[in-house]
Structure 1
């Protein structure tokens, strides 16, 4: 038995030595090839918020592609807006790419202005928010028309993510216009499915929507007039970070300050992302085709 134990011990040491040698060889080869994994480890990991909105999925995947090409690791965290802002304030997330001001997310700005950094300049400055209906509903053109047609809509506004700024503003719209309606929360994909099904049957539906959004290229929709301007007029989209983000990632912070997109750019990006099975593949295609634009952000 002693002999067998001794042989077993020697064989174990030899086996561990071989494994260690293989591991060292693998590490050496990785460093020698200058792989992105080795570079990523040096530059750090960025915890990026993601929301299940079409434009947000597009831009988060776009930045993931750009940053990983530059040697960073990017982890996307799919969360609702309320959780995202709280996590930024508590340093559990690094960056949120989508804050709508001056109206939609003003409550988050007021709540976290001392705990979160809000960008001074928007990356998109032509956003719009409001209630929409299919264009075939010719007699409904204003929010003020909704109570007269309550039975047509079963007294329901089809909504999306609870906690989203636009959902909170829509609750204000219901109060301001004294609408006898209930806002039904769900998710953006579920809301779009409801709109799709209603339009296929030419049935009535009313929902809060926004530009930029690919849905306007899919369906014939119109915004209802908002005489009281509860939704505001033109909205702008900003990014927000935890307070020490610029100190920890100065290079990325500069790129974010230079980031600008117009209707054509964001529309094309969203289309590419929507047309591919994996959003990251659509984002890669867009990044490959827009290097001149991206180089201006990274100057």
Structure 2
């Protein structure tokens, strides 16, 4: 991975070597072997959406000749990794609300490349058969859900917002139980099998909305905010160090429906997220072509 600490001389030397290699390959009609163009590190959080998108970007970069390492981190650590050059970028920044605090802390040390997915949402989620329709209902119907909300990781932005929901709505008798995305969906699955009421912290896009009939509870105080977007974030200096990688990250953009195709495949038994990502990339060449710089098309 190229870091911000490279000197001008080393960067110039690296560029010269790359140009010589490219010229030689061009002259012989060859192609880059995997990893020939250098190492790239991408950070992400273990949300099903980010597992899907990060592996798709990895598959595209590796097709272009890069060796890509993925780092699974907490949300806070993910932002720190990009800000301090321990990762080259991420495609997992939920803005403007979920990751607002992280963005404020490191905004001068990163570059926001803009939106890679529109149409996200956060909130409390229940099965559609539930009589609960609003967060306000939890004040009087907490017994129906055993006075608990099933959450995800303690450090997640969604968890922070849900803690604020408990405070702002006066839900002191409701216990927010943190865990992980996997424990949350497992609890949801068990409740639905028994047709029991349950409230979980949820977000869109997520494969659970394709598997089960679910609904968001109304949020009249708008604590969770409106619709969000997922942004791509790059470390400072990436554009100069690895312009092709920067361009691919900058161009990457897809829809919730496209992401959902990969997420659902990842829920199958013995699924390999990277192999599923490669299969999706191989079957959508026209979409992927739009992410590549003109020189690579």
- Using the size of structure 1 for normalisation, the TM-score is 0.84
Question: C-alpha separation between the residues in 1 aligned to 2:117 and 2:266?
Answer: 18
Question: C-alpha separation between the residues in 2 aligned to 1:35 and 1:259?
Answer: 23
Instruction: Work out whether 1:270 is the aligned partner of 2:259.
Output: no
Where 1:77 maps in the other structure, the secondary structure is: strand
1:94-173 pair list within 5 angstroms: 94-119=88-113, 121-138=114-131, 140-173=132-165
1:160-188 CA-partner distances (Å, limit 9, x unpaired): 12211111111111111111222211111
CA RMSD of aligned residues (A): 1.8
1:1-299 pair list within 5 angstroms: 38=33, 40=35, 42-119=36-113, 121-138=114-131, 140-180=132-172, 181-275=174-268, 277-298=271-292, 299=294
1:67-107 CA-partner distances (Å, limit 9, x unpaired): 11100000011111111112222211111211111111111
Structure with bigger gyration radius = 1
Query: Runs of 4+ in structure 1 displaced over 4 angstroms?
Result: 32-36
Question: C-alpha separation between the residues in 1 aligned to 2:289 and 2:29?
Answer: 25
Instruction: Give, in angstroms, the shift of residue 35 of structure 1.
Output: 7.6
Question: C-alpha separation between the residues in 1 aligned to 2:235 and 2:49?
Answer: 22
Match of 2:20 in 1: none
Instruction: Give, in angstroms, the shift of residue 137 of structure 1.
Output: 1.1
Count of residues in Structure 1 that have an aligned counterpart in Structure 2:
264
Question: Any stretches of 5+ residues in structure 2 without a counterpart?
Answer: 1-27
1:99-140 CA-partner distances (Å, limit 9, x unpaired): 111111111111111122222x211111111100111112x1
Question: Any stretches of 5+ residues in structure 1 without a counterpart?
Answer: 1-31
Native 8 Å contact 2:205 2:256 kept in 1: yes
